[in-house]
Amino acid sequence: MAISSGDGSGDTSENLSVYRLRWVGYGLLLFALVDIVHSFAIANPSDPRFGINLIGQFVERVVVPLLGFALVFFGEFYGRKSPEKLALRFLSWLCLLLAIAYFLMIPPLLLQTFGLKSQVNAKAKEFETAQLAQLQKVEDQLKSSSPEDIRKIATQLSAMGAPVDPSKPDAVKTQIEGRIKTMRAQIPAQVQQQVGQFRGLTRNAVKWTLGAIISGVLFIYLWKSSRWAR
C-alpha cells in the first residue's frame, strides 16, 4: 500500500486505514494477553496433562498475536509519536522472546507426552493384572465352595459390576462362570480404551510440536522485519 508523506492534514483514506489496522493490531494483542491470563487462571496443575494442554492452548491460539504484531508494525514509523516508538521497540524484542519461548515449549511437550505414555501403559497394565487376578480369585473360590459360599461369591461379583441372582443356588454357579468368562473377555477392550485415549493426545502433541516450530519461525521473522523499530 502506498503511504503518502503529507503533514497529516491531508491524510488520504489509504493513510487513515494504516491507523485503523494498527489499532486492530493493538486490540488483537490485548485479546492475546487476556487469553494467556485466562489460560493460566483455569489451568489445573494436578492434572497430569496440565503442561501439555497449556502448551497446546498457546499453539492453537498463536494466530491472534501473530496477526496483532503484523498489524501493529504495519507502515513502520509513518505517523508514529515518540511514546509509540518506544512501545514498538519493546514489541519488536518481545517477538524474539516469544520465538524463544515457543521453541522452548517443544522439549517439555515431547518429554511430558512420552512420560505420560509410560504412565498410561503402566496404569493399563496394572488395571489388567488386578482385574484378572480378582477374577481368578473368584474362579478359584468357586471351584471349592459350598452353596452358601457360592451365594457370597455372587454378592462379590455383583459388587464388581456383574450382577448375579443369588436366590437360585443351583443356577448361581453357572451364572457366575458365565459372568467371569464375559468379564475376562471384556478386559482387553477396557485396556485398549484407556490406551486409546492417549493416542489422541499423541496426535495432538505432534501437531502442537509442528505448530510451535512454525510459530517460533514466524516470530523470528517478525523480529527481523521490525529491525527499523529497534
Q: What is the overall mean pLDDT for the chain?
A: 83
- Per residue, what are the HEC states of 55-84? HHHHHHCCHHHHHHHHHHCCCCCCCCCHHH
Gap between the Cα atoms of 110 and 225, Å rounded: 30
Q: pLDDT, tens digit, for every residue of 31-44?
A: 999 999 999 888 88
Gap between the Cα atoms of 118 and 50, Å rounded: 16
Backbone angles phi, psi at 48, to 5 degrees: -60, -25
Q: pLDDT, tens digit, for every residue of 161-218?
A: 666 666 666 667 777 778 888 888 888 888 887 777 677 778 888 999 999 999 999 9
Least confident of 79-88, 89-98, 161-170: 161-170
How would you label 139-172 residue by residue, b for 16+ Cβ within 10 Å and e otherwise? eeebeebeeeebbebbeebeeeebebebeeeeeb
Gap between the Cα atoms of 210 and 196, Å rounded: 22
Which position has the higher pLDDT, 25 or 85? Answer: 25
Q: What is the DSSP string of 120-155?
A: HHHHHHHHHHHHHHHHHHHHHHHHT--HHHHHHHHH
Highest mean pLDDT among 57-71, 80-94, 149-163, 198-212: 57-71
pTM above 0.85, yes or no: no
